[in-house]
Amino acid sequence: MIDYDKTKDRFDKYIERCKKTIENTFFSEEELSKAADVKSDNIAAGLAREEDDLETVLKEHRKRLIQIKIDHTMRVVADVTKIANSVGAPIDFVKTVEVAGLLHDIGRFKQAILNNGYDDGIDKKTGLSRAVGFGTLRHAQYGQKMLSELGMFDYYEIPERYRFAIGEVVAHHQDANITGDYATRFTSGKQLDTDKYLTGSQMLNEHEKIIVAALLQMVKDVDMIDILYQNISGEMPTVRKSVEYRTTDPVTGKQDTLDEIAAYWGVDPKVIKDYNKLESDDISGRVRLSIPIKEMSPSKLEVPLDIQKRFFNNEDLDLQELQRRRDWTFITGMWWRLNHFLNGISFISNLELMEQNEVLEKIYATYPDEYKPLVAPAFEFAKEKLLGKVIRDNKGEIYVKRRQIM
């Protein structure tokens, strides 16, 4: 059987080493010159002071990035354990999915050592990741490389026959969709007997395909829901300080003047000017302007009716499409999150976990009273239809049935 406790012990030691490496980092002039905004963001968040030197601020910042991923990882481990147990998986599978959960974001720790944030997108022009240290890979694929090619499976002493399966979970947990063999669904916990079926071969037999698919689906399912926990912890605030508004109407191509934009938001032009540090009223060089929400009436943030209608029909809301719109705000962003994440969940027990943990209630509670009416109908619908009803309709099932248009 795979030894989760030993793996966790080595994981903790590895994290300590990562923190030491950050402590001992020497920053080049170029790195420091690019990092002034990290300091000002940290000061604004009350995490640094003006008199702190930049190197210290960066080191503390990177150690906080590490901590964010440790907290995330431990929640993922706890949640996959519950899902695996709820479907009657054998103990060896439970331990395997715990190890896969523990290691799924292993690439993130390397990323935090070398970067000031978690962007690892691939630059279209160069084909390189925007994260220093990953080459052409994103954190998921780089994590698999760390384990298999760079010797971390040996460090963790993971027995041979689990390695390919765990590596696949790490490599694919960031994929937008699970397709092909890994979309296979199991029908009984008995099919998940890793002890009996896993061989370690890269040529998966039918039994192994089911097991690797289940491992990947479980980790991905809880990883996705964990993004909502970031709203509760404040890592991703539900209310932002400003709305980023496009100065040009994407439909007509007409650029508005500062006065027109100010009139639209019901905000004094001078406030917008100061907030954006504009030298004059001429905004022709600006693609977007930040409109501070403190100055505007909350009703300006009302979600557009056509989006509301699609949400209540439970149609698929496309993030890119919404973000291209001029009326996109962080409030619409929460409607999208509820639609996208709740409909994206595969396992009934994951929905049950959300209900037990009162995740939706806790996110809703983060909104100040004046903004609650903007999201209340969406949370109510999510709680009743996307959680409660789906759980009731699927009692005794393992997987959620395909999304229903209402």
Task: Tell me which residues touch Fe ion (CB under 5 A).
Answer: 105
Q: Which is nearer to Fe ion, 105 or 221 (CB)?
A: 105
Shortest distance, position 349 Cβ to Fe ion, whole Å:
21
Q: Which is nearer to Fe ion, 92 or 105 (CB)?
A: 105
Task: Tell me how crowded residue 250 is: count the other CB atoms within 10 A of its CB.
Answer: 10
Task: Tell me how crowded residue 330 is: count the other CB atoms within 10 A of its CB.
Answer: 18
Number of H helices, E strands in the chain: 20, 2
Pull the structure tokens for residue 320: 């890119």
Helix axes 4-23, 91-103, angle to 10 degrees: 10
Distances, alpha carbon 26 to alpha carbons 18, 33, 38, 111, 374, in Å: 14, 14, 17, 16, 47
Shortest distance, position 104 Cβ to Fe ion, whole Å:
6
Q: Which is nearer to Fe ion, 79 or 105 (CB)?
A: 105
Shortest distance, position 64 Cβ to Fe ion, whole Å:
17
Shortest distance, position 283 Cβ to Fe ion, whole Å:
38
Cβ neighbourhood burial of 51 (10 Å; 0-12, 13-18, 19+): exposed
Concatenate the DSSP letters of all residues of 209-238 into one string: HHHHHHHHHHHHHHHHHHHHHHHHHSSS-S
Shortest distance, position 112 Cβ to Fe ion, whole Å:
12
**Residue with the closest Cβ to Fe ion?**
105
Distances, alpha carbon 236 to alpha carbons 23, 67, 72, 298, in Å: 26, 15, 13, 20
Pull the structure tokens for residue 196: 């009996």
Q: Which is nearer to Fe ion, 87 or 170 (CB)?
A: 170
Shortest distance, position 140 Cβ to Fe ion, whole Å:
6
Q: Which is nearer to Fe ion, 105 or 256 (CB)?
A: 105
Can you tell me the distance from the alpha carbon of 303 to that of 291, in angstroms, rounded to the nearest whole number? Answer: 17
Q: Which is nearer to Fe ion, 61 or 108 (CB)?
A: 108
Can you tell me the distance from the alpha carbon of 60 to that of 77, in angstroms, rounded to the nearest whole number? Answer: 26
Q: Which is nearer to Fe ion, 92 or 223 (CB)?
A: 223
Concatenate the DSSP letters of all residues of 290-348 into one string: EEEGGGS-GGGGPPPHHHHHHHHTTPPPPHHHHHHSTT--HHHHHHHHHHHHHHH--BH
Q: Which is nearer to Fe ion, 103 or 348 (CB)?
A: 103
Q: Which is nearer to Fe ion, 105 or 168 (CB)?
A: 105
Shortest distance, position 14 Cβ to Fe ion, whole Å:
16
Mark 351-364 as b/e (b = at least 16 C-beta within 10 Å): bbbbeeeebbeebb
If you search the block for the tokens 């092909």, which residue do you land on? 180
Shortest distance, position 354 Cβ to Fe ion, whole Å:
20
Pull the structure tokens for residue 41: 């963001």
Shortest distance, position 71 Cβ to Fe ion, whole Å:
13
Residue 48 CA, chain-centre distance (Å), reads: 25
Shortest distance, position 22 Cβ to Fe ion, whole Å:
20
Q: Which is nearer to Fe ion, 112 or 303 (CB)?
A: 112
- Cβ atoms of 79 and 222 closer than 8 Å: yes
